[in-house]
Amino acid sequence: MGRALFAEKGFDGTSVEEIASRADVSKPVVYEHFGGKEGIYAVIVDREVQSLLGALSGALAERGHPKQLVERAALALLGYIEDSPDGFRILVRDSPVAQASGTFSSLIGDVATQVEGLLAHQFVRRGLDPSAAPLYSQMLVGQVALTGQHWAEVREPAKNVVAAHLVNLAWNGLSNFDNNPTLPSQDDDLGSTDRPTPQKGSPDA
């Protein structure tokens, strides 16, 4: 009840009258069961949060190579968007009704916490500093989440292609991980005489 309307018009743009009409019930029925559109909205958000979190958590809970985990998480998010476009639009909208525990950003934060543990374990195995895992987990999950929001609107290329590109960027970045990254100095930015000449065919050539 009201799911498609909230997705189309947002919370503020949807009225109890429209919700009742779409559900083919009277306004008193809406108020009796939900206390108004706030109650309906809260129920819908909670269901969508649980659905998406369940899909992402399930993808991360399975054992496998870290690259497979990234792939499964990307496919889980894109699959949810594909199967529940109205629900996803509701989750990513800002609403005065959504509480801190029931927003897309808080859900992504929960997923990032799970990824943090996985990354920390991999960092230790590779002799890297695990204290950086929280930062990188936010980067990794944020990359997938923002790409998902973009894909929800354009729906191209195909889901599997998008997931493959996400994995390509994320995994190639992690596989060539620098344990102590630094930014180039201002002199280096302007060009240094000690800077090697780019080889033919290299990205800098």
For 130-168, the pLDDT digits (tens) are: 898 899 888 888 888 889 889 999 999 999 999 999 988
* pLDDT over 70 percentage in the chain: 84
Which residue, among 73, 64, 159, has the nearest Cα to 110 in the 3D structure?
73
The helix (run of H) or strand (run of E) holding residue 200 is none
C-alpha–C-alpha distance, residues 52 and 47, integer Å = 9
Q: Is the pLDDT assigned to residue 203 strictly greater than 50?
A: no
The pLDDT value recorded for residue 83 is 94
Mean pLDDT highest for which of 53-57, 104-108, 151-155?
151-155
Which residue, among 133, 127, 100, 132, has the nearest Cα to 115 in the 3D structure?
133
The helix (run of H) or strand (run of E) holding residue 62 is none
Average pLDDT, stretch 11-32? 91
List domains and CATH numbers for the chain: 45-177 (1.10.357.10)
Average pLDDT, stretch 26-41? 90
Q: Is the pLDDT assigned to residue 186 strictly greater than 90?
A: no
Q: Which residues contact 95 (CB under 8 A, 6 or more apart)?
A: 10, 11, 12, 41, 45
Average pLDDT, stretch 82-91? 90
Q: Is the pLDDT assigned to residue 193 strictly greater than 70?
A: no
